[in-house]
Chains A and B, each alone.
Chain A
Amino acid sequence: MKSAWSKNTFFDNFNTFVNHLGYDKAPVAFGLAMADWTDTDERDKFLFEITGRKVGEPSNVKKS
């Protein structure tokens, strides 16, 4: 395991997905995090496409 958190790694992607989609969607976030994202921009663009919200934008839906 790496000793420091870094961008565009599995855990970074998982964290982004689970916080954007909701905690109850953790299994889906896990699967998406396993995809080979070119960079965080590509990943964030994908999230915007499927949710209509930019990453970091608060959602109206409760997280859990």
Chain B
Amino acid sequence: MARGGYRKPNNPAPVSGPGALSRRTDGGAGSKQAMKEIRTGKYGESKAIMEQQQGAPMAGSPAPSPRVATPKITGLFDTTQRPEEPVTAGMPFGPGSNSMKPAFDPNAELVDFKAKYLRSLQDVALLPSAPQSFKRFVSYLESFNQ
């Protein structure tokens, strides 16, 4: 291994110069990573590694993303942010938009059931041996409207 003599500093400079001669030694933000000299015991291997690094510089660390300002959360006792909207808006009573659907429709399941199975149940109800209780239920389902 060669010793002594002038050694060209790596890019970027390993040591920054004074004042106007100062240079970044970290490779710069968002640019390629600085090359690293890796010393191995084998002859010529360090040079080969340096050449490899020159040929394919590694990407720099990603630039930090700017912070996105979060909207201010309205406190419980703050003045309203929607002065034009009645407090009953969305409720099924009082002024304001009240078109909100109820969260649970107790008849929805039976409506669904009727749509799926009424025809089959009607067929079974036509059996002469079908009990009256079953026929009554099928009649109820036929006339059931939400």
Q: Interface residues, chain A, CB within 8 Å of chain B?
A: 1, 3-5, 11, 15, 18-19, 23-24, 26-27, 30, 63-64
Chain B residues closer than 8 Å to A27, beta-carbon distance: 109-110, 112-113
Contact indicator B130/A5 (Cβ below 8 Å)? yes
Task: Known A1-B124, A4-B127, A24-B106; judge A30-B113 contact (CB<8 A).
Answer: yes
> How far is B123's CA from A3's CA once the two chains are assembled, in angstroms?
11
Task: Known A19-B133, A26-B141; judge A1-B113 contact (CB<8 A).
Answer: no
Contact indicator A19/B127 (Cβ below 8 Å)? no
> How far is B105's CA from A51's CA once the two chains are assembled, in angstroms?
24
Contact indicator A15/B127 (Cβ below 8 Å)? no
Question: Which of the listed residues B123, B130, B134 has the most CB atoms from chain A within 10 Å of its own CB?
Answer: B134
Name the prevailing secondary structure of the A interface residues: helix
Contact indicator A18/B112 (Cβ below 8 Å)? no
Q: Interface residues, chain B, CB within 8 Å of chain A?
A: 106-107, 109-110, 112-113, 117, 123-124, 127, 129-131, 133-134, 137, 140-141, 144
> How far is B118's CA from A26's CA once the two chains are assembled, in angstroms?
11
Q: What are 15 residue pairs bridging A and B, where the CB atoms are less than 8 Å apart in the complex?
A: A1-B123, A4-B127, A4-B129, A5-B127, A15-B131, A15-B134, A19-B133, A19-B137, A23-B137, A26-B141, A27-B109, A27-B110, A27-B113, A30-B113, A30-B117
CB of B59, distance to nearest CB on chain A (Å): 59
Contact of B131 among A5, A24, A26, A63 (CB under 8 A): A5
Task: Known A1-B123, A11-B124, A19-B137; judge A26-B130 contact (CB<8 A).
Answer: no
Chain B residues closer than 8 Å to A5, beta-carbon distance: 127, 129-131, 134
> How far is B131's CA from A5's CA once the two chains are assembled, in angstroms?
8
Chain B residues closer than 8 Å to A26, beta-carbon distance: 110, 113, 137, 141
Chain A residues closer than 8 Å to B110, beta-carbon distance: 24, 26-27
CB of B139, distance to nearest CB on chain A (Å): 10
Chain B residues closer than 8 Å to A4, beta-carbon distance: 127, 129
